[in-house]
Amino acid sequence: DAKTTQPPSMDCAEGRAANLPCNHSTISGNEYVYWYRQIHSQGPQYIIHGLKNNETNEMASLIITEDRKSSTLILPHATLRDTAVYYCIVRVNNNAGNMLTFGGGTRLMVKP
């Protein structure tokens, strides 16, 4: 799986959009971009994933650059409950295990 690079920490004001960047310059053509988050003392939570098109669900939006070398996770109206560590992962979707490997992630602090 390709390596990702994320800033170690970010702050965001409550109610504002949180934009979390991720660099994955060595991504392969068949690798997807996944985002998970982990709130303190809880298990990781799936957020969203995409291949090359931008994606949106009830939790967030994922913007992937045209060259696929970077992406941005957008939480449109951050709340205090969105304070968590956010992990960007790139991986192939196949049936050979799909086990996850998290790097350092970005610690997002949403402040009132």
Which residues lie near other proteins (CB under 8 A)?
32, 34, 42-46, 49, 87, 93, 95, 97-105
Give the side-chain half-sphere CA count within 13 A for 68.
17
Is residue 81 helix, strand or coil? helix
Least distance CB 97 / other proteins (angstroms): 5
Least distance CB 43 / other proteins (angstroms): 3
Least distance CB 102 / other proteins (angstroms): 4
Is residue 71 helix, strand or coil? strand
Q: Which one, 17 or 100, has the nearer CB to other proteins?
A: 100
Asked if 70 contacts 23 with a C-beta cutoff of 8 angstroms, the reply is: yes
